[in-house]
Structure 1
């Protein structure tokens, strides 16, 4: 028998080494978006969790160990008890998958995912949105999955006059229903006991109306919108199946509204429901969703995020760098016996890489916390609604605005912010556009060159760089949508607005800690190794009279490499090894470009990049010579190249962690081509002005 969307291999993250033990019982969390699923996962697993990608996809899932829960999966034939694995699946409204994220959820529920057949599904049902929650529950049950219901947001529903009796719902469904509040921990102990009993003794199936098969190869309603077996879906049968499920959902809702559980049949009369109550969230939304008031508030929030990434985190990053470069480096030098080259390798190579990783940790932590606060409070959904119209031009919805705005502060946390997007293809497209947002590190280069070459119009020159950045994002998005992302359909933006809530500090700190830890351990390895390679290039002499780790830049392997690639930039007007060497260091960090210029000219790095001093005169002389007298045009071309070419090493490492090597290295190649082409165009046009 041929199965659709067959997934081979286990849930193993090649970067973290996290493996799914096939002998341990497994529980999956299933629910609509914004129903509290991830909050429940964090409460159940604590710090014993890992963020990884489903095999063969860029879909992010979280796998952890259920604290305080051990059990034997019923029907496995095993008498061994062990830690229970719990997998947080992507939120979805239906198992008829239309996106990679929904497909991962549908395949896992149907037993074709990396976990195999889950032993139990905990389906989160939102008390205030029973219709869409019960429809998903019916599909999970229709896939043959044993389940337990976690009833969430009962307090929010009560403020709207909606009361759900969990005992009546349990009687109607025939399975345990546990009311919980994962934000406060209410009901989690009972949920743990119920799940433990269900893993040991099993639970009865939910009684559903007969469902017609949607897939003509084996009748799997969770198959999605297509089969890898090549056989078509029976759309008439799919619609009939959906109609029967909706009829069942309506019957359950009528029974809940009725005074008698015995009346729980389709078409039974229901008691009058209370009139909708206008809540505090409704009153706030009248302001935040209004175009005249909502847009300024949205811009203010985005500005605050920008400030967080550029000014608030900067002192913390500087403090960490000073600690590593100062006391820690001195202690290592004192404790490390041996030749000078070994000391330089450890301190200037390995330790410098570790310091770079650790210096980014405060920035990542603050940004993760800020995004989590916006998401947990309910405002992020409103921000997406307000920004949706502006993002339609490149085929994305309003949620993509957040990472793109953050990218103007720093590209690294901007990539982290893509996790707020609902679908993997949207996250990938946005992640490919983020490097074209001009981060604050590039600003130091703009200030130096603008003050040297355009002193009377420095502000205008810098402003034009940001305008160019926005143009690159828009044009890049349009090109990607027309080529590699033709399959990314622009669907109507339907978004369920969650009620405003007070964020829970402990849960937010835990979530931020897990993600920062993942960055440090995964992306950190790449950064340390690459910086060590850079040290080797700068330490190895290629001319006589020098020792290893004691060589001028011009006579090092690094300097000769820069000299070899300099002719590539002749059409852009800066075919000089000082410029190409600065661009090479820019792969590590864009702010290092200024320091590289100073080092290659053997002058002190200016305290204020706007007052270049001797460095400025040398830069002008170099660009005058390399451009044939068009120094201003060459400087503008250099600034454009810095804007468009590969982002810093930390960003590249995070891209690789999130999207894989193929997309990352392919993007690097495209970025270099675009940067070179744009620089050449700017220089050649500048010569004519």
Structure 2
């Protein structure tokens, strides 16, 4: 099986091309650092089987950062039959530096001038024929979203794999080229059995070491010579981006606009998904009632396992898929538009006093969706200590799996204020992450290095790419729910059913009642179901909702007529679609499972009920991260850092909830005395 490696600058479109050629579904975004590790996809085009390698975006081959280390180590240690160098055709002068370095690896190479549709819009003229002749490489002026171009790229790669390859001559001044030829001849005499390609590469490397300054100047002279075949007006090309940045990156209102957009995004996620959440809860009840009819003659424990355990628990978890979809949709828009990189730029000034750079904030922002890719994304941070520190604080960021818990309790105790409650929790998680980062950085007692970050041009988000991202993330979420969470919910059902078949005397109840004493100073320890739901959240945060649904639903409630339920289910889907659009900006509307919300609302009926509920949400916010996140921390930074994260998130939630509840209760009693 032959190998084709995709190499290029960050944000040049390598991953988009692999997705187009293989349907691999890798993550794509209009910001640097999307590919932070080597990824691969296998394809078969006719009789030819290929492995397509997606290497991290780099600017050079000097191993000065993690991405360059991964890319160059792979190119040096693994056999590669063809290089596909993807260049941003709107920034050729910058991209050609890497192209000239890649040529001297002496691997057959194809150049893809990506974003060619933008080249035409911006009036840039590229003489690809002359450039191809100078570089001795085929050049394709295409866009990854052009279906016809995909076939053209496939044909070119297959043709390149069949053609004989004799190597590339470096584009040097005459004296340097003569020196390179002499060095090749010398090496041939010393190593008569070595391949000519290896000797040409070795001669180039030795020349760079012997005359670094001259070779550096020759490199930029070659780039200038190549750019003589490109005509462009830089002012026209960057006009749109500069006009938008004048507003969004303004030194006074840039940050307020970012905060306002973040708040609006959370509100839209909440309101847009709520009607679908309500419909999926209705679907879960319909499935439960149908299952009870089908299993009427089986043992009670088996019927309870299927209906009250698997269907009630997993159904409640899956009902929050709309939340995940809306969340990843808006994150995808930020990435594709180019604003994600601006967020890192805007936040760098604020993050620096806390021992982090703006790139760390991008990792934290990704944590809103899932902490696992956020931990992986810390690789783009240059400094090792900053990478490890960011990885430690990532689990404090409220991931999408915690969102169902917030919305459930917000609807029960803070009707009409769900968006505000969610926003305060997200704000608390961010502030806590920054404070923890500051504390962890104090022993170093030195200034953070300046952040170097490429700001991509603004682009109209591709809905195809955004929806592909949503599809992949929702698919991953569902797979987790149907594996880890399903197993966890089955175990939790057993703990709530055995030994007597009654929840109030089950093992879970016994644990919850025994441990409630520890949690009573936090306010919510008076309700054992809340305490008993916490251990399962280590498997996945979604299990808290499923557990409470299994424990608190009124089992004595008689099911409705099944035929009528089926009719209401069909009608309800159309109503959910309509409400999702009509009430998108209605920040007061609710749309969740009324039965479960009612049961949750009855947990606390005293004057401090809202404070107790919020204290529970804060505990869930900072509790031990899920198994997936812990595993990511272990894989990236070792067992020691993972154990350190566990220790922090055992102490932090208890301390935060304790301070919140006791201070709130004190303020309440002081107000009563007055």
Change (3 A) 1:392 1:88: same
1:41 is displaced (CA, Å) by 1.8
57, 60, 75: which is aligned to 1:94?
Answer: 60
1:557 is displaced (CA, Å) by 0.9
Other-structure match for 2:334: 374
Change (3 A) 1:350 1:487: farther
Other-structure match for 1:560: 510
Change (3 A) 1:131 1:386: same
1:88 is displaced (CA, Å) by 1.6
Other-structure match for 2:41: 64
The answer to whether the 8 Å contact 1:369/1:512 transfers is: yes
- Tell me, in whole angstroms, the C-alpha distance in 1 between the residues paired with 2:556 and 2:649: 31
Other-structure match for 2:11: 34
1:527-676 alignment runs, 5 A limit: 527-541=485-499, 546=500, 550-553=501-504, 555-569=505-519, 578=528, 580-581=531-532, 583-584=534-535, 588-589=541-542, 592=545, 595=548, 599=552, 615-617=603-605, 640-646=618-624, 652-653=627-628, 656=631, 660=635, 662=639, 667-676=645-654
The answer to whether the 8 Å contact 1:442/1:590 transfers is: no
Structure with more of its chain in helix, by fraction:
2
Asked if residue 423 in structure 1 is aligned to residue 380 in structure 2, the reply is yes
- Tell me, in whole angstroms, the C-alpha distance in 2 between the residues paired with 1:290 and 1:551: 61
- Tell me, in whole angstroms, the C-alpha distance in 2 between the residues paired with 1:513 and 1:612: 32
- Tell me, in whole angstroms, the C-alpha distance in 1 between the residues paired with 2:630 and 2:250: 36
State the TM-score, normalizing by the size of structure 2. Answer: 0.71
The answer to whether the 8 Å contact 1:606/1:612 transfers is: no
Asked if residue 249 in structure 1 is aligned to residue 219 in structure 2, the reply is yes
2:319 alignment partner, SS class:
helix
- Tell me, in whole angstroms, the C-alpha distance in 2 between the residues paired with 1:525 and 1:241: 58
Change (3 A) 1:635 1:46: closer
322, 331, 343: which is aligned to 2:303?
Answer: 343
- Tell me, in whole angstroms, the C-alpha distance in 1 between the residues paired with 2:366 and 2:291: 36
- Tell me, in whole angstroms, the C-alpha distance in 1 between the residues paired with 2:623 and 2:335: 32
The answer to whether the 8 Å contact 1:582/1:596 transfers is: no
1:551 is displaced (CA, Å) by 0.9
Change (3 A) 1:616 1:513: closer
1:135 is displaced (CA, Å) by 2.3
Other-structure match for 1:327: 286
The answer to whether the 8 Å contact 1:394/1:474 transfers is: yes
- Tell me, in whole angstroms, the C-alpha distance in 2 between the residues paired with 1:417 and 1:251: 41
Change (3 A) 1:49 1:688: closer
The answer to whether the 8 Å contact 1:35/1:124 transfers is: yes
- Tell me, in whole angstroms, the C-alpha distance in 2 between the residues paired with 1:203 and 1:131: 27
Other-structure match for 1:455: none
1:255-274 alignment runs, 5 A limit: 255-258=225-228
Change (3 A) 1:206 1:361: farther
1:678 is displaced (CA, Å) by 3.8
Q: Deviations over 1:208-266 (max 9, x none)?
A: 368999xxxxxxxxxxxxxxxxxxxxx9998877645543432333323447xxxxxxx
Q: Which moved more, 1:582-591 or 1:328-337?
A: 582-591
1:537 is displaced (CA, Å) by 1.0
1:92 alignment partner, SS class:
coil
State the TM-score, normalizing by the size of structure 1. Answer: 0.70
Asked if residue 178 in structure 1 is aligned to residue 166 in structure 2, the reply is no
- Tell me, in whole angstroms, the C-alpha distance in 2 between the residues paired with 1:175 and 1:460: 57
Q: Which moved more, 1:574-583 or 1:298-307?
A: 574-583
The answer to whether the 8 Å contact 1:329/1:351 transfers is: yes
1:505 is displaced (CA, Å) by 2.7
Q: Deviations over 1:474-503 (max 9, x none)?
A: 1222244458xx799944333333233233
The answer to whether the 8 Å contact 1:154/1:164 transfers is: no
1:589 is displaced (CA, Å) by 4.1
Change (3 A) 1:205 1:459: closer
Asked if residue 478 in structure 1 is aligned to residue 429 in structure 2, the reply is no
2:223 alignment partner, SS class:
helix
Unaligned runs of 5+ in 2: 29-34, 184-204, 558-592, 668-674
1:86 is displaced (CA, Å) by 0.9
Q: Deviations over 1:339-361 (max 9, x none)?
A: 12112222333334543553343
446, 452, 460: which is aligned to 1:502?
Answer: 460
Change (3 A) 1:598 1:509: closer
Change (3 A) 1:670 1:603: farther
- Tell me, in whole angstroms, the C-alpha distance in 2 between the residues paired with 1:92 and 1:612: 51
The answer to whether the 8 Å contact 1:175/1:205 transfers is: no
Q: Deviations over 1:337-388 (max 9, x none)?
A: 6212112222333334543553343333333332222222233333332333
Q: Which moved more, 1:591-600 or 1:120-129?
A: 591-600
Residues matched between the structures, number: 581
The answer to whether the 8 Å contact 1:110/1:144 transfers is: no
Superposed CA RMSD? 4.8
The answer to whether the 8 Å contact 2:125/2:231 transfers is: no
The answer to whether the 8 Å contact 2:492/2:547 transfers is: no
1:532 is displaced (CA, Å) by 1.3
- Tell me, in whole angstroms, the C-alpha distance in 2 between the residues paired with 1:645 and 1:26: 44
